Amino acid sequence: MAARKGSASGAKAGANVSADELKSYYRDMLLIRRFEEKAGQLYGMGLIGGFCHLYIGQEAVVVGLEAAAKEGDKRVTSYRDHGHMLACGMDPKGVMAELTGREGGYSKGKGGSMHMFSKEKHFYGGHGIVGAQVPIGAGLAFSDKYKGNDNVTFAYFGDGAANQGQVAETYNMAQLWDLPVVFVIENNQYAMGTSVQRATKSPDFYERGVAYGIQGEEVDGMDVLAVKAAGEKAVAHCRAGKGPYILEIKTYRYRGHSMSDPAKYRTREEVQKIREERDAIEHVRQLLLTGKHASEDELKDIDKEIKGIVNEAADFAKESPEPALEELWTDIYTDVAPQNA
């Protein structure tokens, strides 16, 4: 048992990856980015309400881990959930229509940006309470283990959420019961306006499992291949019945915490520097071009395809009708009628 600094899996850029795989990661990451940009626009137009937390900058995390997943594996995450849903194959139209609160949305307009589920794609939310999804992830893993299949659950949470008490409780149980759950800490360095350094003196989250006997490692979240390699290792550990695994994935969010962020807690230069020097999508783009795996024209075609998908999602999200008002009273319980309809 150990906690490892640095990308132990150390996937060298381009090594052991086919051109098609690289292209598909590029495509999947681009889909998330363009989708989120569009969501930001729709928010600006007043079509999306409440808080809306964009995933821009963190795309390589979910795309890399989804590349390590197999059919039946589960995932659960926080309110910053759009990327996870797109990466696991949920329909961009249904996600966008939930953002606009329409009938065609995954939760029929009842949940909004933070609350969506798809049992079909094994996506168990979208959770608004910081840390809540972590024990839920353990429970999903418990169910798989009990049923005797070899599926794993990815429980995603932030650097801020890592300081919630229920995370510690869950680590202990998950290891005690050898649950097949990968705890994925998306360390984007901030929890709202609070940097990691201001929230803990133990900033190496991958080490936090040591006390419970859980193996962990730190991963470069701006390198989709490194994420995939680390994910494969973690998943193999879980599938082999060895219990949980922790991946601390170092990433960065480019946008505000939500759409109403005064952005006073970090400098523009800090954001700009990471965008310019570390962008995960640009990284894969360069791999594709320098490795001659794809031509500029091919990449342009991908861009175009993505643009089409995103526009179609946005159109659907605008045109899908508002939910019928009677829907207000359904789904509160699975059976009984509400008390004061």
Partner 1 sequence: MLDQPTNERRLTIARAMAEAMQQEMQRDPTVFLMGEDIGGFGGIFGNTRGLFEEFGKERVRDTPISETGFISAAVGAAMDGMRPVVELMFVDFFGVCFDAIYNQMAKNTYFSGGNASVPMVLMTSTGGGYSDAGQHSQCLYGTFAHLPGMKVVSPSNAYDAKGLMTAAVRDDNPVIYMFHKGLQGMGWLSTEPGATVNTPESDYSVEIGKAKVVREGRDVTLVGLAMGVHNALKAADRLAEEGVSAEVVDLVSLVPLDRETVINSVAKTGRLIVVDEDYHSYGVSGEIIATVTEHDISKLKASPARVTYPDVPIPYARHMEQLCLPNPDKIIAAYRKM
Ligand X SMILES: Cc1ncc(C[n+]2csc(CCOP(=O)(O)OP(=O)(O)O)c2C)c(N)n1
Question: Residue 15 or 336: which CB sits closer to partner 1?
Answer: 336
CB 152, CB 144: distance < 8 Å: yes
Supply the minimum distance, in Å, between the C-beta of residue 102 and partner 1.
7
**What angle, 0 to 180 degrees and rounded to 10, lies between the N-to-C axes of helices 59-66 and 224-239?**
40
User: Around Cβ 176, how many Cβ atoms within 10 Å?
Assistant: 12
* 100 near Mg ion, judged by CB under 5 A: no
Supply the minimum distance, in Å, between the C-beta of residue 191 and ligand X.
3
CB 194, CB 160: distance < 8 Å: yes
**Of 172-180, 236-244, 296-304, 320-328: span binding partner 1 (CB under 8 A):** 320-328
Alpha-carbon gap, residue 35 to 152, rounded angstroms? 27
* 338 near partner 1, judged by CB under 8 A: yes
Residue 35: closest CA among 317, 321, 279, 250 = 317
| DSSP classification of residue 71 | T
Copy the structure tokens of residue 140.
């999903």
* 158 near Mg ion, judged by CB under 5 A: yes
Q: Which one of ligand X, partner 1, Mg ion, none interacts with residue 118, CB within 5 to 8 A by kind?
A: none
Supply the minimum distance, in Å, between the C-beta of residue 125 and ligand X.
13
Supply the minimum distance, in Å, between the C-beta of residue 270 and ligand X.
15
Alpha-carbon gap, residue 314 to 308, rounded angstroms? 10
Contacting residue, 188, 215, 251, 320, with Mg ion by CB under 5 A = 188
Copy the structure tokens of residue 9.
């899996």
**Of 131-139, 180-188, 254-262, 272-280: span binding Mg ion (CB under 5 A):** 180-188
* 159 near Mg ion, judged by CB under 5 A: yes
**Of 12-20, 79-87, 113-121, 191-199: span binding Mg ion (CB under 5 A):** 191-199
**Of 151-159, 220-228, 232-240, 315-323: span binding Mg ion (CB under 5 A):** 151-159
Subset of 97-156 contacting partner 1 (CB under 8 A): 98, 101-102, 107, 109-115, 128-132
**Of 53-61, 98-106, 190-198, 227-235: span binding Mg ion (CB under 5 A):** 190-198
Question: Residue 64 or 323: which CB sits closer to partner 1?
Answer: 323
Supply the minimum distance, in Å, between the C-beta of residue 152 and partner 1.
26
Subset of 45-84 contacting ligand X (CB under 6 A): 78, 80
Burial of 172 (C-beta count, 10 Å sphere; 0-12/13-18/19+): middle
* 256 near ligand X, judged by CB under 6 A: no
Alpha helices in the chain (DSSP H): 19-44, 59-66, 82-87, 92-99, 133-147, 165-176, 196-199, 224-239, 268-278, 280-290, 296-319
CB 265, CB 190: distance < 8 Å: yes
3-class SS shares of the chain: helix, strand, coil, % to 5? 45, 10, 45
Alpha-carbon gap, residue 164 to 130, rounded angstroms? 8
Residues that bind partner 1 (CB under 8 A): 49-51, 98, 101-102, 107, 109-115, 128-132, 160-161, 163-166, 191-194, 198-200, 260, 262, 264-265, 322-323, 325, 327-329, 332, 338-341
Residues that bind Mg ion (CB under 5 A): 158-159, 188, 191
